[in-house]
Structure 1
Amino acid sequence: MTTPAMLRRRYRTDAVSTASPARLVVMLYDRLATDLHTASAAVGVADIEGAHVALLHAQEIVAELSGSLDLEVWPQGEGLAALYDFLRDRLVRANVTKDAAFIAECIEVVEPLREAFSEAALVPDTA
């Protein structure tokens, strides 16, 4: 018997496995933003476990984004690598202190990046 939860999992799996590399980056940024907002809300209501889970997942996403950045192919990506280092630092601090100010700093960085990557993913590849 197929349940709605099984259908949702399959849809997510299919969406990821068929997405272009640019779309995958956008999907990571979308989820990172969701995790940051979830963590912020959890800190706001003193849900320590909820904040912890969301912040750990956000750290995993930043690690994935950072790990996929190839500076040999794109040396101009050093600034983006530095932003990922900044995010990683702030996410760890946010998780240790449960201070919403650190999360807000991350949101201020992630939201514009998410928009930029989303717009770039819409531009056809002319190479």
Structure 2
Amino acid sequence: MNTTARAAYMDASVATASPARLLVMLCERLVLDVRRGLEAQREGSIEEANRQLIHAQEIVFELRSSLRVDDFEGGPGLASIYDFVHTQLIRANISKDPAITEGCLHLVMDLCATWCQAAQQSVLAG
């Protein structure tokens, strides 16, 4: 698939996705970015690691800023998790430490799995 067709497909996917699916898509991209950042750090490609980890930070910032903390009981806890992950991604990028990035990867993989499960349950319930 060429770049233009892929971009059009992605735009259509995002435009037609439900809010739950958009959240899952963001989380999946977050996992991909952190994984790529970790691989780049391990390979010594600091510029690529920086690019990937900054994009991951932007996604976490977006997730955190769109979170309505008071709308559900777990809101404050989830906000704290997002804040912690954001801080750790910054630390991993500044220190160029793959161990910190790997810790972030485990956290975002768990978050993503949780959101995927919640989205699937909302589809089944609805």
TM-score (norm 2): 0.93
CA separation in 2, counterparts of 1:125 and 1:63?
29
Corresponding position of 2:116: 118
User: Structure 1 counterpart of 2:14, which letter?
Assistant: V
Corresponding position of 1:37: 35
Q: Secondary structure of 2:68's match?
A: coil
2:4 aligns with one of 3, 6, 16: 6
Corresponding position of 1:80: 78
Tell me the number of residue pairs that the alignment of Structure 1 and Structure 2 aligns. Answer: 125
Alignment of 1:67-106 (within 5 A): 67-106=65-104
Give the direction of change, closer, same or farther, for the CA distance of 1:12–1:116 in structure 2 (3 Å limit).
Answer: same
> Any gaps of 5 or more consecutive residues in structure 1?
none
CA separation in 2, counterparts of 1:107 and 1:30?
11
Q: Which moved more, 1:61-70 or 1:106-115?
A: 106-115
CA separation in 1, counterparts of 2:111 and 2:82?
11
User: Structure 2 counterpart of 1:51, which letter?
Assistant: A
Cα-Cα RMSD: 1.5
Q: Which has the higher helix share?
A: 2
> Any gaps of 5 or more consecutive residues in structure 2?
none
1:64 aligns with one of 62, 65, 70: 62
TM-score (norm 1): 0.92
**Aligned residues of 2:70 and 2:76 also touching (Cα < 8 A):** no
